Amino acid sequence: MAELRDKTAILTGASSGIGAALALEFSKKGARLTLAARRLDRLQEVARACAGVVLPLAADLTRDSDRKKIVQQTLDHWGRIDILVNNAGLGIYGDVLSASEEDWRGIFEVNLFALVFMTRAVLPHMRSQGSGIIVNMASIGGLIAHSDKVTPYVASKHAVIGFSRGLARDLAGTGIRVLAVCPHLTDTEFFTASPGAKEMAPVVEKFKSFMDRPEDVARGILEQLDSDRLIVFPTGKPARAYEKQKEI
């Protein structure tokens, strides 16, 4: 496991689910945290639950001004950026036709472009340090279509994996490592808060007993932060599902 004491990490999408669980785990290891999400009240709850020092920032990751604010305030407050966890994301229940153009553009704006441009915002600082870790939250859905009517989500997460592969090559030899994390279905409010949640409910119920807990996913991510692998499965389930899919 990577040494996190006194390391500075930015976590996006940190107000609930895997992001909140990651904040707690990073804090236990002594990291200094900047937590970013839209809901400041929820961020403050997470910050109070953390054992360490935390800077909570309300931000819309699709806005360039907010991304710059996160980076600048982190540097002003902590003096450096060691780790970026691009966790903010959303889901849409729909196929290629039932999902509107607005849905398609919206999910790529959050799941891919916010991640890309947040990465661009921190890279100059990591390059000047000669070190850093960029964690991009992909999904088992970025490797296999795990259900019907998740085409926009699957496409956006597949793009995250592609971006991570290219980024890792771009940064080879710089001291900056890239991880694309592919969790299995995880029991969070992601499924109830996403557009089309009512239509998704039967699918969620079907997989409920197989879902991972966010705290288990968070621990698995921390255990593999120093991994040399690009694609990281925080629990064993995604790897097994991926291998099974490849056999078909």
Residue 78: HSE in the Cβ half-sphere, 13 Å Cα cutoff: 24
Tens digit of each residue's pLDDT (9 = 90 or more) over 33-89: 999 999 999 999 999 999 778 999 999 999 999 999 999 999 999 999 999 999 999
CA distances in angstroms from 50 to 18, 21, 59, listed in the order given: 14, 10, 20
- Residue pair 186/213 in contact by the 8 Å Cβ criterion: yes
Q: Which domains does the chain have, with CATH numbers?
A: 8-247 (3.40.50.720)
* Whether the predicted pLDDT of 193 surpasses 60: no
Q: Is 153 annotated as catalytic? A: yes
The more confidently predicted of residues 24 and 212 is 24
* Whether the predicted pLDDT of 95 surpasses 50: yes
Residues 78, 153, 163, 191: which is the catalytic one? 153
Q: What pLDDT sits at residue 197? A: 55
Q: CB neighbours of 66 closer than 8 A, spacing ≥ 6?
A: 59, 60
- Residue pair 36/63 in contact by the 8 Å Cβ criterion: no
Separation of alpha carbons 68 and 124, rounded Å: 12
- By DSSP bridging, strand 54-58 and strand 83-86 are unpaired
Q: What is the pTM of this model?
A: 0.88
Banded pLDDT at 205 (limits 50, 70, 90):
low
* Whether the predicted pLDDT of 94 surpasses 80: yes
Tens digit of each residue's pLDDT (9 = 90 or more) over 107-146: 999 999 999 999 999 999 999 999 999 999 999 888 887 6
- Residue pair 179/133 in contact by the 8 Å Cβ criterion: yes
Three-state secondary structure readout of the chain: CCCCCCCEEEEECCCCHHHHHHHHHHHHCCCEEEEEECCHHHHHHHHHHCCCCEEEEECCCCCHHHHHHHHHHHHHHHCCCCEEEECCCCCCCECCCCCCHHHHHHHHHHHHHHHHHHHHHHHHHHHHHCCEEEEEECCHHHCCCCCCCEHHHHHHHHHHHHHHHHHHHHCCCCCEEEEEECCCCECCCHHHHCCCHHHHHHHHHHHHHHCECHHHHHHHHHHCCCCCCCEECCCHHHHHHHHHHHHC
Separation of alpha carbons 209 and 124, rounded Å: 43
Residue with tokens 């950026």: 81
The more confidently predicted of residues 40 and 192 is 40
Q: What pLDDT sits at residue 225? A: 95
Q: What pLDDT sits at residue 35? A: 98
Q: What pLDDT sits at residue 108? A: 97
Tens digit of each residue's pLDDT (9 = 90 or more) over 144-189: 876 667 899 999 999 999 999 999 999 999 999 999 999 887 555 5
